[in-house]
Chain A
Amino acid sequence: MSEEKPYRRLESQDLLQQIAFRHGLEAMAASEEGRLAWVTSGFPVEIPLAMDVFPTYPEQAGAIIGASKIGPEVCGFGEDLGYSQELCSYARSSIGSTDRPEDVSMGALPTPQALLACNNICGTVLKWYDAISEMTGAPVHLLDTPPLEGEQLPHHRAYVRRGVDRLVEFLADTFNTRLEDEEATRVANLSSQAIRLWTKVLETCVNKPSPLNCADRFLTMAPVVSSRGMEHCVEFYEALLAEVEGRVKEGIGAIRNEKTRLLWDNIPPWFILRFFNQLAARGVVFPADTYTHAWSGAVEGSDTASILDGVSEVYSDVYLNKGLEAKVDKMCELIKDYDLDGFVMFSVRSCKRYSLGQLVSKEMVTERTGVPGVVIEGDMVDSRLFSEAQVQTRVDALLEMFV
């Protein structure tokens, strides 16, 4: 008889695989039809979708490359072209897989006709897409969303709003298309529904035991990143919500023996998601994380103008586009709301916007909440930059505090 695993598999994962497969096929078809855009994860995808431009996500492709454990090899292809190992591994793997798609078993994307970047998640995306543009000839269009300090000021909103108008103009010129009221509203509504369902899914994790662990959320976040605004995305989250609510009702946790509840901060190391399962065997669950909670802003609106106004606000007001204080506030809020015992901050060498400041915020979060935390260092795709033994030692030290 095989040993019972310490964690429970979601049935919705089967549906997830179907969605991923379908998205890949649609992206290939769109590329062949000349209407494929690569977009950054924080891009207002509702606009290209409503204009019949199909989006696909290099960051997600990077996650797949990482999870397939080919990160070092594919990043190496990028390094062979002169891109430093010090640069973002999403970017390096994307550049590498674009240069040598035939040598990449998983994660190479179809050729884009446009590259749509929004710098609300980091400044790297522009540089990365510039590099891809040189390789593919696809033009880069940047939606510039300067970081917020506190509230969004009127001139900031006006600048981003003008940028959104320019985006519509760019798509219209590049793809010979138009933004129609009816389609804009339909897509925005679908996107909002998906976001709301996803938010409800996340909120179920306040329960004890938590119905989802970190790895579950990292996997099931894929549609809200890649397919929000599409009908099947809503269908997926309806199914997922039903499953997790069922778990809550029956008192079934994501792991079998929940003892310690922790917060995860940052992108995960995609190549070693078993890290979370190993901790599950020790009774450690992660009911909340800052990464999957980043997709929470719903674009509301009854016509094109109000939707574009909403886009200007929602896509500026994202987690990574705010200062350190706001990030600390969010972490403290999650620790309180989800009744967490401590936190793990993953210092990702690839991601300066997410990671620089963690050494200070760790102190602040502990001071404000009274719970301990630990900073571990590594990378999300490039396993050469991750020392499992070192990470284990640090996490062990944190867990000893809960004995």
Chain B
Amino acid sequence: MSYPILIEQSNQILRELVDAGQRVLGYIYPHIPHEIVMAHGLTPSLVRTNRTTVGAYEDSLQTFSCSLTRNLFSQRVNGSFPLLAGIVFSANTCDALQNVADVWRLRFPEDNVIRLTYPVGDAGDSAAQFLAKEIKAFSDALESLTGTAFQKDAFIEAASILEGIRSGLQLLYSARLVNPSLIPYKTLSELVGDFMTAPTKTVLTRIENKWAEVLDGLRKQKQDGVVLKIRAALLSQDIGDIDFASDSAVRIAVIGGMVEPTTIADLIVNIPGMKPNTVVLDILTFGFRTVFTPPAETEGDLFENAAQSILGAPSEPTQEGLPRRMRFLKDILTNLSIGGLVVCEQSFCDPDEFEAPSTERAASEVGVPTVRLPIDPELSDRARLEGRLQTFLETLDTS
């Protein structure tokens, strides 16, 4: 499935939900408390960039706003945005999203723009308490929006669905690290895309079915044990004890910020030399970093639980903790037998562009070659991106 087809499918899923009477809440930053949204009877859905969107932002945003925000804004101006009950902007994650939310509110006063503020600091309990209060305020805003109060039963059901979805995707991510031939990256990225479009029981079933199929293959090759071990290690962000050697020729990981795995899958599909098993892992915000979020507990203070869940996800470039992220990256590269790293940088994205040199250095320190990929949602420079990747692959092949 190509990216435009994925968008079409995502929109189709959304249309079906809307036709069935569901109200959809769009979000941009992926670490949203899905369970809270669902506890108000809403379906959380990632607002996607559109590759065919032409610039229509110029009256409101400068060209140095990040390419993600420019694309979303243009879609809204062009009237090609999906029908949403509201849209959630993150605050305190990056300066572009911070300011564009204000611009959006002023330009489109008919839209329900909701803010959710995240702590940047790695401040333990005080960060969790702050985020819990923000999530409670977010829940209150959703109640005003929908007229539906927070439903504990709905939260518990949502937590169960999300735990199932994430757990299944975590297993599939881990399975690809051990035996990527069992599930193409494209298939995994589409399942992640489905999760972000609508975390429903249908999506859960699809993921469970795929996992059952993959598990069967793993068992036949006696690899199921190591997959479980890798998943647990990735979830705890401590893979020091994992020592996995692969006999595959070239194993590549992709790292970066707000890039969808489906974009990467679509980009690599036509590159000569890129085999279906070459990309074994993404460490993208919309992929690995969201999928490996621990579940929200369903006992006690549910807002605090939602906060703890979000803060338990792998650290983002928007947050404090660069040294920890680089250590984790080095462990991944070393212990999971990664031979090359593609570093994606969203155009005019400060977190991505600041972290890329550190990422390159970290990879270099463990002897893993890298290539940097300046990318935007329109893939406006696609031929050059493909050329860079092809050259990188050829370099790895001969090294």
Contacts and interface: CB of A to CB of B under 8 A. Distances in A.
A127 B65 contact: no
B100 A356 contact: yes
Nearest to B69: A356
A353 interface: yes
B350 A127 contact: yes
Contact of B354 (A130, A143, A159, A355): A130
A163 interface: yes
A84 B93 CA distance: 20
A247 interface: no
B106 interface: yes
Highest count of chain B CB atoms <10 Å: which of A91, A126, A149, A347: A126
A171 B107 CA distance: 44
A9 interface: no
Interface in A348-391: 349, 352-353, 355-360, 364, 377
B318 A355 contact: no
A158 B242 CA distance: 40
Highest count of chain A CB atoms <10 Å: which of B60, B99, B134, B351: B99
A87 B64 CA distance: 10
A283 interface: no
Interface residues of B, number: 53
Interface in A135-171: 140, 142-144, 146-147, 149, 153, 155-156, 158-159, 162-163, 166
A324 to B, nearest CB: 4
Contacts of A377: 62
Highest count of chain B CB atoms <10 Å: which of A126, A140, A352, A357: A352
Contact of B59 (A128, A149, A352, A359): A359
B121 A123 contact: no
Bin chain A's interface residue count.
Answer: 35 or more
Interface stretch (B30-38, B124-132, B167-175, B277-285): B124-132
Contacts of B120: 119, 123, 126, 142, 144, 146
Interface string A87-121: 11001000000000000000000000000000100
Contacts of A134: 322, 358, 361
Contacts of B95: 122-124, 352-353, 356
A389 to B, nearest CB: 19
A82 B360 contact: yes
B397 interface: no
Contact of B65 (A82, A84, A155, A356): A356
Nearest to A377: B62
Contacts of B126: 158-159, 162-163
A158 B361 CA distance: 38
Contacts of B91: 146-147, 149
A147 B345 CA distance: 25
A344 B115 CA distance: 30
Contacts of B345: 84
A144 B62 contact: no
Contact of A86 (B119, B121, B347): B347
Contacts of B322: 130, 133-134, 140
A81 interface: yes
A356 B101 CA distance: 10
A171 to B, nearest CB: 16
Contacts of B354: 83, 87, 91, 124, 127-128, 130-131
B106 A364 contact: yes
B129 A142 contact: no
A323 interface: yes
B119 A146 contact: yes
A369 to B, nearest CB: 17
Interface in B89-126: 91-96, 98-100, 102-103, 106-107, 115, 117-123, 126
A159 B118 CA distance: 12
A122 B94 CA distance: 8
A359 B63 CA distance: 11
Given A159-B127, A352-B65, A353-B99, A123 B350 contact: yes
For the complex of A and B, 8 pairs with smallest distance between CB atoms? A82-B357, A144-B121, A127-B354, A324-B102, A155-B133, A356-B99, A159-B130, A352-B95
Interface of B: 59-62, 64-65, 91-96, 98-100, 102-103, 106-107, 115, 117-123, 126-127, 129-130, 133-134, 317-318, 320, 322-323, 345, 347-348, 350-351, 353-358, 360-361, 372, 374
9 contacts: A124-B350, A127-B350, A142-B120, A143-B121, A146-B92, A147-B92, A155-B129, A356-B65, A357-B100
Given A133-B323, A144-B127, A158-B126, 13 more contacts: A91-B354, A123-B92, A123-B350, A124-B354, A128-B354, A147-B98, A159-B126, A163-B123, A353-B98, A355-B64, A357-B100, A359-B60, A377-B62
